[in-house]
Amino acid sequence: MILQEATVMRIALLFDSALRPETTGVYCRRALGEIAEVEHYTVDELATIDPNRFDAYVHVDDGLRYTLPSHLRPSIWWAIDTHMDLDWAIQKARTFDFVFAAQKDGAESLRNAGVNDAEWLPLACAPPHSLCQQ
């Protein structure tokens, strides 16, 4: 199932940028903000997320070990570094409704481990934005 732009209007976007301010989540926030209302949350704010306020709960891999609360649905995870700890990625992926992996072989590894809906969503950059030109 693919989420369509018209059906997702409010997105809770989860990622930590304290350790790495240039994390992929920053770019996702900017891009998603062009098509939907996006509110950013950190791991410390998980308990404050209203489960009735958003149309989707998106977690962009930030390298930290935590999971999204099970009552926040539909849940989406974009796994960035499956190659760094595939066992953890598999365990985490199984808790989400939709899973994307930044590497093609990462998506394949997740599917081979039983995460049947894992799809490849490669990293990209929007050249007009100054952060991409650094």
* Integer Cα distance of 39 and 134 in angstroms: 25
**Cα-based distances in Å from 97 to 15, 50, 70, 112:** 17, 18, 10, 17
Segments making up each domain of the chain, as ranges: 5-133
Fold of 5-133: Rossmann fold (3.40.50)
Q: Sign of torsion, CA 24 117 73 81?
A: negative
Strand stretches in the chain, DSSP E: 10-14, 37-41, 56-60, 75-79, 98-101, 119-120
Q: What is the pLDDT of residue 127?
A: 62
pLDDT in tens, 72-124: 999 999 999 999 999 999 999 999 999 999 999 999 999 999 999 999 999 98
Grouping H, G, I as helix, E, B as strand and the rest as coil, residue 7 is helix
Nearest to 49 by CA among 75, 21, 86: 75
Token couple for 9? 């209007």
The structure's pTM equals 0.86
Instruction: Order across the sheet with 75-79: list the strands.
Output: 37-41, 10-14, 56-60, 75-79, 98-101, 119-120
pLDDT in tens, 21-30: 888 999 899 8
